[in-house]
């Protein structure tokens, strides 16, 4: 069991030190352990819901402690019952079922490619490579890296029907965005739909890494991260996010959704007039 207030990356480091597989690909994610079930945190082919066996919460409405099963948490892609109803409960602790001596999870192609040499990788080596990949995209906190002044990935990867993917592929080949159909990245999901990389859609819609709108902009290392360069306001960031969402929708008919929970400002999803 991990208490909610434990720094998450320290938890991951400890599991690897003890030879416990199951969260090694979630290395380098900032924040506390109690946040992981709320977002159903995931990265590089792993999601925390894969190893959660119970979530201990304080039920704010009933005024009592409860232990929730994974099914009660209603986990989804970057989603959970906690996220959908944030006033319902406070996470106190998370129980994880890890694999002593287990193999690392190597579902993510980019991570597999980085580990091609040297045979079966240790958990420590996988963590090292995950951290290196995240650092190359400014997705670890670094006071010396201005691109790390972000909330991480701002948009989730849209999951759409195969017919939408076929239409997208036909369009981008016809318009010369790509020269062949297999150049469009996509990943089939278990429910028969297809996940599209939001970063690819953003760049295909005409945005570029490093684009700025005054004090805010797109990271120069990763098109999914919206960066604050200093002196800006939340409204400016959301206005830029609205612009990105609107253009992706207009170009491809695909809706982007924010991954962070936005507090105190409305999210118009491309329709805001700021």
Give, rounded to a whole angstrom, the gap between the first and last alpha carbons of the chain: 45
pLDDT digits (tens, 9 = 90+) for 142-169: 888 888 888 889 999 999 999 999 999 9
Strand partners, 227: 150, 217
Gap between the Cα atoms of 16 and 257, Å rounded: 33
Q: Which residue in this structure is represented by tokens 């938890």?
A: 11
- The model's pTM is 0.83
- Residue 274: predicted pLDDT: 38
Geometric angle at alpha carbon 20, from 16 and 23, rounded to 5°: 70
Last residue of a domain, one of 109, 136, 163: 136
- Residue 203: predicted pLDDT: 97
User: Is the same domain home to 51 and 177?
Assistant: no
User: Tens-of-pLDDT digits for all 274 residues of the chain?
Assistant: 999 999 999 999 999 999 999 999 999 998 999 999 999 999 999 999 999 999 999 999 999 999 999 999 999 999 999 999 999 999 999 999 999 999 999 998 889 988 987 678 999 999 999 999 999 998 888 888 888 888 889 999 999 999 999 999 999 999 999 999 999 999 998 899 999 999 999 999 999 999 999 999 999 999 999 999 999 999 999 999 999 999 999 999 999 999 988 887 777 675 543 3
For the chain, what is the domain count? 2
Gap between the Cα atoms of 197 and 109, Å rounded: 13
Spatial CA neighbour of 44 closest among 137, 168, 120: 137
Task: Please count the other Cβ atoms lying within 10 Å of the Cβ belonging to residue 23.
Answer: 26
Residues in contact with 239: Cβ distance below 8 Å, sequence separation at least 6, in sequence order: 213, 272, 274
CATH code for the domain in which residue 115 is found: 3.30.465.10
Gap between the Cα atoms of 4 and 144, Å rounded: 29
Task: Identify the three-state secondary structure at position 217.
Answer: strand
pLDDT digits (tens, 9 = 90+) for 20-65: 999 999 999 989 999 999 999 999 999 999 999 999 999 999 999 9
Last residue of a domain, one of 107, 136, 165: 136
Gap between the Cα atoms of 77 and 69, Å rounded: 17
Question: How many residues in total does the chain contain?
Answer: 274
CATH code for the domain in which residue 200 is found: 3.90.78.10
Would you please indicate which residues are annotated as catalytic (active-site) residues? 78, 153, 259
User: Is the same domain home to 130 and 25?
Assistant: yes
Domain range holding 187?
Answer: 146-252
């Amino acid at each position: 069991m991990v208490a909610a207030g434990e720094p998450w990356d320290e938890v991951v480091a400890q599991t690897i030190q003890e030879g416990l597989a199951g969260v090694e690909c979630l290395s380098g994610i900032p924040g506390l352990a109690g946040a992981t079930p709320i977002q159903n945190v995931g990265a590089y082919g792993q999601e925390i819901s894969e190893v959660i066996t119970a979530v201990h919460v304080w039920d704010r409405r009933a005024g009592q402690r409860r232990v929730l099963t994974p099914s009660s948490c209603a986990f989804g892609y970057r989603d959970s019952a906690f996220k959908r109803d944030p006033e319902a409960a406070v996470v106190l602790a998370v129980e994880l079922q890890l694999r002593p001596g287990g193999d690392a999870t190597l579902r993510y192609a980019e991570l597999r490619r980085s580990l091609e040499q040297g045979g079966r990788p240790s958990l420590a080596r996988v963590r090292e490579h995950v951290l290196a990949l995240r650092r190359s995209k400014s997705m670890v906190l670094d006071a010396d890296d201005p691109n790390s002044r972000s909330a991480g990935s701002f948009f989730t990867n849209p999951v759409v029907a195969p017919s939408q993917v076929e239409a997208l592929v036909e369009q981008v080949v016809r318009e010369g965005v790509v020269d062949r159909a297999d150049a469009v990245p996509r990943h089939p999901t278990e429910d028969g739909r297809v996940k599209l990389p939001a970063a690819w859609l953003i760049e295909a819609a005409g945005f570029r890494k490093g684009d700025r709108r005054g004090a805010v902009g797109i990271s120069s290392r990763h098109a999914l991260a919206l960066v604050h360069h200093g002196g800006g306001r939340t409204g400016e960031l959301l206005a830029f996010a609205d612009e990105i969402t609107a253009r992706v929708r207009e170009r491809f008919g695909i809706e982007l959704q924010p991954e962070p929970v936005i507090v105190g400002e409305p999210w118009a999803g491309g329709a805001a007039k700021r």
